Structure 1
Amino acid sequence: MNLLHIRYFYDTVRLGSVSLAAKANFVTQSAVSQGIMKFERVLGAELLTHCRNRIKVTSRGEKVFHSCQQVMRSMTELESVMKAPEEGYHGQMVFACSHSMAQSVIQETLLELKKVAPAVTIKVHLGHTGIAKEWIKQGRVEFGLVLDNDDLAELDCEVIYSGAFKIFRSVSREESIPEECLFAEPRAEIFSMKSSFFDRYGRELKTQLEINSWEVIANLVEKDVGFGFFPDFLALNPRRRDLIVPCELDLSPIPYNLMIALPRGEKLSRNGQLFLEILRLN
């Protein structure tokens, strides 16, 4: 069994096309296609079918892809172990997180990581928890930084920070019970907060503006556009710490966990372990 053929198949499924797999491996599309066909012959099974302008993975191909994913991770880890004593950290680290986390949580960590491991190429895919979960399962990213506000039962997860969803105000705005608030798209935590608000204050908390970005909402709160509801990790941003504060409201807490999520049974690469270590320190 040829490892190159395994890589060609793995990259084709991971990237979604033969042409992208060819570019990733610096070979022709023909080389990738022939390699996959040889891999299929060795296994005695059809792994891919070709539709118009796209590929489709067969049920057998899905199982083989997950096995190949483990092989490729093991090869990457082996390369890191062999080269570590002489060359330090190297290679790629590909992970997923939301736009808000990229803005508020990982910036300092990435800067520190580049100082400690300048040879590591970092690729960050931005998307909410549901999208990150699919990227992890597909092998497009090694791990994801996600909130536990989605079903993560298919992944291995570790809590790295625990916080709560809160209503925030600008420091220039006087403390008061809000009439309306800036919200992201309706989700369970918003329904819970609105229900708690109604039970405590006997009226509905109206939506001033709905925008699908916690980061944008936090920025608007900074500028005193209104009150905003979002997870408190956004207030950890050093630029923002002295500009916004949580409102002192008598509401039921709405906790969340910020987690690192990986495919079942997988371990973080050496680069991923370094990233997590620096993130915890920050």
Structure 2
Amino acid sequence: MTLRQIRYFIAVAETGSISAAAHAVFISQSTLTLAIQQLEQEVGVSLFSRHAKGMTLTHQGHQFLRQSHIILATVDNAKRMLQQATDEVEGQLIIGVTTLVAGYYLADLLTRFKRAYPNVEISVIEDERAYIEHLLISGEIDVAVLILSNLEDRHALQTEVLTRSPQRLWLPAQHPLLDHDSITLADVAREPLIQLNIDEMDRNAQRIWCGAGLQPRISLRTASTESVRSLVAAGLGLSIQPDMTYRPWSLEGDIIEARPLADLNQSLDVGLAWRRGTARPALVDPFLCVAREKPRA
């Protein structure tokens, strides 16, 4: 399927005849007829009903016409974005972010966006996921960068995953489990655990343990990732954490090992969310484009 075929299709749909459409797009009737036939073969349905007075759209043709206008509008918008110098783009972009994502993902994203759009003013609101979600739906912020796994009102939001962060077990150096060829959640459930209680990580952990039918031994809960690192490295417990937060040492310089769990395949999805069903603020599309440029995990 080509853009030329789509333009020819729209011309026939709007004029109601091959001859009038061919005159409108400055090609021969035979070329236009062939293009429409090839398009119908491509989509696998009849787009027109042929009769003595011309051509009328079928039900599928009406549906395809709506999508064709969207396709051409999207292409035109893409051309305009490329033709417009990014340093001429101005305005304010309000971004919502949750705490864990702010610490490990936001800085690189904002740096790349400011490099591409230096004259855009950025405001960042950091808060809990539920409040960021509320601000998105009410239109008080333009776009959010957050953990998508816990979103509640998905019908009101459009989302796009940027990173899928696998979850692994953190252990101190020389822990006995490091000698195992394979580590399972049942192995971990017998050990004292350090629970990170930030950005609803406790809810994430609860889903994991409930799904496995196991009851973990939580020895300490903290809202600090650095505390989790220090406590694990000191041998005071183990912890299951997403790879995006992993560092091989604590602030004290102690080693932290990370191992996959044989029966844990869930990832923590970090991505973008914006309000569904309304025209997006003008600066959201450039932000989405910059965010998509980074290779996804």
- For the criterion TM > 0.5, the same-fold answer is yes
Change (3 A) 1:250 1:228: same
Contact 1:166–1:230 (CA<8 Å) still a contact in 2?
Answer: yes
Matched residue of 1:249: which SS? coil
What's the offset of the Cα at 1:249? 3.4
1:246 to 258, 263, 267: 258
Change (3 A) 1:251 1:196: farther
Partner of 1:276: 291
- Please report the RMSD computed on the Cα atoms of aligned residues, expressed in angstroms: 3.8
Q: Deviations over 1:191-232 (max 9, x none)?
A: 233346665xxxx43112112355653565466653223333
1:14-163 mapped onto 2 (5 Å cutoff): 84-85=84-85, 87-147=87-147, 148-151=149-152, 152-163=154-165
Is 2:170 the partner of 1:168?
A: yes
Change (3 A) 1:244 1:143: farther
Measured in 2, the distance between the counterparts of 1:255 and 1:101 equals: 14
What's the offset of the Cα at 1:244? 4.2
What's the offset of the Cα at 1:251? 2.9
Matched residue of 1:193: which SS? helix
TM-score of the aligned structures, taking structure 2 as reference length:
0.53
Matched residue of 1:209: which SS? strand
Is 2:197 the partner of 1:182?
A: no
Change (3 A) 1:103 1:86: closer
Measured in 1, the distance between the counterparts of 2:267 and 2:96 equals: 22
TM-score of the aligned structures, taking structure 1 as reference length:
0.56
Change (3 A) 1:95 1:181: same
Partner of 2:40: none
Contact 2:168–2:260 (CA<8 Å) still a contact in 1?
Answer: no
Measured in 1, the distance between the counterparts of 2:257 and 2:124 equals: 29
Matched residue of 1:251: which SS? coil
Partner of 1:256: 268
Contact 1:165–1:189 (CA<8 Å) still a contact in 2?
Answer: no
Contact 2:94–2:125 (CA<8 Å) still a contact in 1?
Answer: yes
Change (3 A) 1:223 1:105: farther
Measured in 2, the distance between the counterparts of 1:120 and 1:236 equals: 33
Is 2:210 the partner of 1:191?
A: no
Q: Tell me which stretches of 4 or more aligned residues in structure 1 moved more than 6 Å.
A: none
Q: Deviations over 1:164-193 (max 9, x none)?
A: 3333235x3535255111113474432233
Matched residue of 1:230: which SS? strand
**Identity within the alignment, %:** 15
Which letter does structure 2 place at the counterpart of 1:169?
L
Is 2:218 the partner of 1:229?
A: no
Measured in 1, the distance between the counterparts of 2:243 and 2:86 equals: 42
Q: Runs of 5+ in structure 1 lacking a partner? A: 1-76
Measured in 1, the distance between the counterparts of 2:84 and 2:150 equals: 37
Contact 1:198–1:205 (CA<8 Å) still a contact in 2?
Answer: no
Measured in 1, the distance between the counterparts of 2:157 and 2:290 equals: 19
Contact 1:165–1:231 (CA<8 Å) still a contact in 2?
Answer: yes
Measured in 2, the distance between the counterparts of 1:213 and 1:143 equals: 26
What's the offset of the Cα at 1:142? 0.7
Change (3 A) 1:244 1:108: farther
What's the offset of the Cα at 1:258? 1.9
Q: Deviations over 1:55-77 (max 9, x none)?
A: xxxxxxxxxxxxxxxxxxxxxx9
Matched residue of 2:155: which SS? coil
Which letter does structure 2 place at the counterpart of 1:276?
A
Contact 2:162–2:292 (CA<8 Å) still a contact in 1?
Answer: no
Q: Deviations over 1:148-172 (max 9, x none)?
A: 22312321111222233333235x3
